[in-house]
Amino acid sequence: MTFEFSGPIWFWKGPAPWYFITVPTEQSAKIKAASRFVTYGWGMIPVQAQIGNTAWTTSLFFKDEHYVIPIRANVRKAEGLEEGQDVAVQMTLG
């Protein structure tokens, strides 16, 4: 399954600070329906993601009824991304 969406980058301060983009409701529902076929434990969903010209492998997390995709520092740097900026994401499950 391949998805395209956009959303703002947000920062989570937690014990291990990280940047994320929330997957919209419609796409999150489709991912949730497919999750039992692609998860590798704890509800983590492996994905191949791309923003601009930068592609990477990561995993989706489930938070507040939506999946969130972590945005690595090297991706943010390569694409010149900052907190609050709307970003287009392409991703494929598995």
> Per residue in 9-25, pLDDT tens?
999 987 878 999 999 99
Domains defined along the chain, listed by start = 2-93 (2.40.30.100)
- DSSP, residue by residue, 32-79: HHHHHHH--STT-EEEEEEETTEEEEEEEEEETTEEEEE--HHHHHHH
pTM value is 0.90
- pLDDT tens across 44-72, in order? 899 999 999 999 999 998 889 999 999 99
